[in-house]
Amino acid sequence: MVSDEKDKLERILKEQSNIHNVDISVFDLNGKLIASSLPVLFDKGIIAKNMNAVAFNALTKDYKNQVLQDENIGGLTYKATYATIKTTTGEPIGYMNVPHFGRDKNLQTDISNFLVVLINVYILIMLLAILMGVLLSNSVTKSLDLIGVKLRQIRLGGKNEKLVWPDNDEIGALVREYNTAIEELDQSVKLLAQAEREYAWQEMAKQVAHEIKNPLTPMKLSIQHLQRAQRENHPRLGELTTKVTKTLIEQIEHLTKIANEFSSFAQMPKTQEEYIELNEMLTNMMGLYEENNENLNIVKSFGEEDSYVYTDRTQLNRVFLNIVKNAIEAMNELDQGVLIVTVKQSVDTVIVSFSDNGSGIPLDRQSKVFVPSFTSKSSGMGLGLAISKNIIENAGGKIWFETELGNGTTFFIQLPLRR
């Protein structure tokens, strides 16, 4: 190729190189360089002026129209495209080479950009998923918290409210199970209460029958003895009649006491509620015991502030008297009994305690202290503390005790405070 044609071809290649931003080289049918948009690389021997042999063989012998070939310049590896230049009739007249020096770098850049976009998309999706999870979790947690609150409020014998859930989902199924359990619990409580009442009355009937039989036996024997003496014209019939009559009266009085105690326990009298100041009430009551019991030392520990409750004065006085009486009897064998009476206020309640230094309540009797048929004394039916428990609970309070063998017993009474 003459010099003018070569220069003209190189100008054309440079123009196309600038337009497409690629380097272009043209080889003849023998694989020799004809012209290039960047001839300095060939002139200085950086790139050989002959075509890549692998590409040349692929185009000439394998009759391929285009070949993508890996090539090297020093430590630089790049892709190069070789294509056959043909006439309009399809005859090959040469070969064109287009190296892609920036392909790997651009590819890495594209991959990096893609990864950045992908990571951003994943982060966005993750944030949305977390947000949806939090919202869903809050919805479920709120529902479960409501159920948890209701479960903590369940009380045996109390009014347990059912839950309402509009949706027929997992929470709805849980709510339905909860409501069913509430119905079954209420039914069970009613049956249990009925069974307890029946058992209590059965035990009470047994105790009353036992207490009644005790005086009936001596009464029967006394009457039979009097009848025999009358038939035999006993010389001291008058004296014997007086003695038998006295015995009968005593036993009748005992039966009357039993009937009165049973009646008091079975049906409490109608309450007459009023405001009662506990410090004054207990001070007056303890004064009576201090005057009549030389071996009893009463220690009062009351707060400076008045303690008002709203209940029946007679019934509350009966409770206090019964506890004090039991405490004094527990300390009968002591040379010096000590009874500590304390009144303590809290935010909305007041607690009255009675502590004695008696022998305490044995372990096998502690669970029966408030049972109607229990008594550790030789007389009476043991209804005092059972009646006291009934009175305090009807007033909205609680009664309990703490005891230690050899160190005494403390009874506590908690009542609502009225200011």
CATH of the domain at 21: 3.30.450.20
Residue 106 lies in a domain: no
In a shared domain, residues 322 and 296: yes
Distances, alpha carbon 266 to alpha carbons 75, 200, 259, 390, in Å: 110, 11, 10, 10
Q: How far is 56 from 60, CA to CA, in rounded Å?
A: 6
Integer-rounded Cα Rg, in Å, for the chain is: 55
Domain end point (choices 211, 235, 266): 266
Q: How far is 252 from 234, CA to CA, in rounded Å?
A: 26
**Predicted pLDDT at 155:** 60
In a shared domain, residues 176 and 241: yes
In a shared domain, residues 233 and 281: no
Assign residue 352 the CATH number of its domain.
3.30.565.10
**Predicted pLDDT at 106:** 57
In a shared domain, residues 280 and 406: yes
Residue 236 lies in a domain: yes
In a shared domain, residues 225 and 322: no
**Predicted pLDDT at 376:** 45
Residue 154 lies in a domain: no
**Predicted pLDDT at 176:** 76
In a shared domain, residues 253 and 281: no
Specify whether the CB–CB gap between 343 and 279 falls below 8 A: yes
In a shared domain, residues 185 and 262: yes
Helix, strand, coil percent content, the chain, rounded in steps of 5: 55, 20, 25
In a shared domain, residues 326 and 199: no
Specify whether the CB–CB gap between 66 and 82 falls below 8 A: yes
**Predicted pLDDT at 200:** 65
Domain end point (choices 83, 101, 119): 101
Residue 252 lies in a domain: yes
Cβ-based neighbours of 305, under 8 Å, separated by 6 or more:
345
Which residues of the chain have a pLDDT value below 70? 1-4, 43, 45, 74-76, 101-112, 138-167, 169-171, 193, 197-198, 200-215, 217-218, 221, 247, 254, 257-258, 260-271, 288, 291-292, 372-383
Assign residue 178 the CATH number of its domain.
1.10.287
**337-341: long-range contacts (C-beta < 8 A, 24 or more apart)?**
337/293, 337/295, 337/296, 337/297, 338/296, 338/297, 338/299, 339/289, 339/296, 339/297, 339/298, 339/299, 340/298, 340/299, 340/301, 341/282, 341/286, 341/298, 341/299, 341/300, 341/301
In a shared domain, residues 259 and 329: no
**Predicted pLDDT at 349:** 92
Question: How many CA atoms lie less than 13 Å away from 199 in the CB half-sphere?
Answer: 7
Residue 222 in tokens: 């006394």
Place of tokens 């105690």: 261
Place of tokens 């007679």: 314
Q: How far is 306 from 74, CA to CA, in rounded Å?
A: 105
Residue 113 lies in a domain: no
Domain end point (choices 235, 266, 297): 266
Residue 193 in tokens: 């209460």
Q: Which of 248, 261, 191, 193 shows the shortest CA–CA distance to 217?
A: 248
Residue 143 lies in a domain: no
Residue 146 lies in a domain: no
Cα dihedral across residues 208, 211, 217, 220: positive or negative: negative
State the residue range of the domain holding 321: 273-416
3 state SS of 293: coil
In a shared domain, residues 252 and 323: no
In a shared domain, residues 283 and 402: yes
In a shared domain, residues 261 and 305: no
Q: Is the pTM of this model over 0.85?
A: no
Residue 197 lies in a domain: yes
3 state SS of 270: coil
Q: Which of 287, 401, 283, 288 shows the shortest CA–CA distance to 353?
A: 401
Beta-bridged to residue 72, according to DSSP, are 77
How many structural domains comprise the chain?
3
